[in-house]
Amino acid sequence: MRWAAGAAAALILCAPALSLYAPAPAGAHVPASAGPTEVCRITDPAVTEVSGLVVTPTGYLVENDSNPDPAKTRVFTLDTSCKVTGSVQYPRTARDPEDLAVDRKGTVWVADIGDNGPMTGGSGTRRSTIALWTMAAGSKNLKIHRLVYPDGVPRDAEALLIDGQGRPVIVTKDPVGEVFRLDTPLPTDNTDGAELTKVGAFEPHRTGTSNPFSFLGIAWVTGAAVSADGTRAVVRTYADAYEFEVTGGDVAKAITSGKPTVTPLPDEPQGEAIAYTADATGLLTVSDQAGPVVVLRYPSGLKVAAPTSAVPSATPAKAAPPKTPVRSSARAPLLLAAFTVVALMLVAAVARRARRR
């Protein structure tokens, strides 16, 4: 699970590549007055390697990453104290579930989109299609929907968002930050994958936030979420959370051309899952680890709109100056640095062990 000595050696050998990164622009980070707070701890041994999280009226849903025993790869229902109250099994083997999302109708989406190459722990046999699984509100049945990238080239992805029209939006991890959306009707139980449309790119930048994977962790996208009201979206890396304001439900436009506000998520062991709290005032995260894991809460970097009052105040309070969101322009250096080390990362396959297929 951890990269250990192999990753450390690769980072040392590629230290010169660090000079390729542009520094984070001033004002990119949201000042943190305090660290994250622990919400609850998931201790059930059945729930391992959590890579997706959503908030429900009664608690949470989580999914565990791929498992050598397919029967152990499930979607779990948790109460507000993180106690497991139920689970849903896939009707057939899920290849590599990496994220969860829920749309405005309450439908749960599972992003079965992981596809590691041999350099990062994969088997060497790449996927011809990726998949989304959906579960209607109140149902316990998962349905599969197969998709394909427009150029047919395999990619590793771990982030899924659902836009205001109910369209899935996928952000890739390798290559960094490519954004795809399904613009055609969602097929069910199909053999040939429905073709995605490439709509742009999400651009991480060098924040300097401490994380176990150094500059690679700053770049690699590991999760995403949309707030319950659809007005904000967040994309996370191993190091930071990038929040965007969403207009008209167009999530893809927001994360590819909007100006992010960045919240540091320092030193999470292997931070992958992220979700908004029900009121969108906080960000919840979980690390992909074996054993007990902690759900952490960070304050959202975006302001929540004040409720409209029927009677305006005679002396309205002076609004605080807004935080200055800054868009990065360092995607190309990040990509170049990441590609520089990929050939050295075979040793780092221990990070994903045999759980990647």
Q: Is the pLDDT of residue 353 over 80?
A: no
76-96 pLDDT, tens digit per residue, is 999 999 999 999 999 999 999
Q: Is the dihedral of CA 147, 150, 151, 153 positive or negative?
A: negative
Q: Work out the pLDDT band at 118, boundaries 50, 70, 90.
A: confident
Smallest CA-to-CA distance from 224 within 242, 249, 210, 197 is with 242
- Domains of the chain: residue spans and CATH: 4-300+322-350 (2.120.10)
Name the pTM for this structure: 0.82
150-203 pLDDT, tens digit per residue, is 999 999 999 999 999 999 999 999 999 999 999 999 999 999 999 999 999 999
Supply the pLDDT for residue 65. 85
Q: What is the C-alpha separation between 294 and 298, in angstroms, rounded?
A: 13
Tokens, residue 172 = 């890739």
204-228 pLDDT, tens digit per residue, is 999 999 999 999 999 999 999 999 9
Supply the pLDDT for residue 356. 41
61-71 pLDDT, tens digit per residue, is 999 886 777 77
288-298 pLDDT, tens digit per residue, is 998 899 999 99
Q: Work out the pLDDT band at 260, boundaries 50, 70, 90.
A: very high
